[in-house]
Amino acid sequence: MSRVVGIRWREAGPIIFADAGDLELINKNYVVVRTEKGQELGWMVREPRILVLSQPEEEIPLTVVRKATGSDIGRWQQTKEMEQTAFSLARSKARELQLGMKIVDAHYAFGRSRIIVTFGAEGRVDFRPLLRELGSALQCRVELRQVGDRDVAKLTGASVYAAASCVALLG
């Protein structure tokens, strides 16, 4: 049996479930979570529930390490500012390299050892030059992740239907 909580990393992101162990947590607590690729900071959106696993070898891959401290929150705010800088840099480099892509998001891992840059594009894009440029400029591991039109709209805060309506009016 495990005590499982629902956590979000991003406002519009999916709910991710993590093992809370014996920690006393309530909704909207900020928590540090151990993932496969390092630590992340998120907030709790679902209260702890007891989960009985049907197969003993199944495990919840994420674990809540601790409640976030004041220094964790401060670091997270600094990271958000760094994400804005990285986002602007990625957009300008993509434009400079004349790549047919729209950069829509940049997200540092909590430890700042890697950054995930999300983009939308029609078809496949050779983004290796952008990967090299960003890696040397940001001094961390860079992952580029392509998403579809609906995810682009979700990440930019636009509605797919509103975007389609604008295109129909202009075209």
- Two tokens, residue 42: 């998120």
- Two tokens, residue 137: 């400029």
| CATH domain 75-170 topology | GMP Synthetase; Chain A, domain 3 (3.30.300)
Q: Could you report the per-residue pLDDT of 99-144, keeping only the tens digit for each?
A: 989 999 999 988 888 999 999 888 888 889 999 999 999 999 999 9
Give residue 112's pLDDT.
87
Comparing CA positions, the residue from 72, 15, 73 lying closest to residue 49 is 15
Domain ranges for the chain, please list them.
2-68, 75-170
Residue 13, classed as helix, strand or coil, is: coil
Residue 168: pLDDT above 70?
Answer: no
Residue 144, classed as helix, strand or coil, is: strand
pTM here?
0.74
Q: Cβ distance 97 to 121 under 8 Å?
A: no
* SS3 readout for 58-102: CCCCCEEEEECCHHHHHHHHHHHHHHHHHHHHHHHHHHHCCCCCE
Cβ neighbours of residue 41 closer than 8 Å, sequence gap 6 or more: 9, 30, 31, 32, 33, 68, 72, 73, 75, 76, 110
Share of the chain above pLDDT 90, in %: 47
Using alpha carbons only, what angle is made at residue 149 by residues 163 and 112, rounded to the nearest 5 degrees?
115
d(CA 142, CA 103): 14
d(CA 70, CA 28): 15
Q: Could you report the per-residue pLDDT of 14-46, keeping only the tens digit for each?
A: 898 999 988 888 888 999 999 888 889 999 999
Give residue 124's pLDDT.
87
Q: Which DSSP symbol is given to 104?
A: E
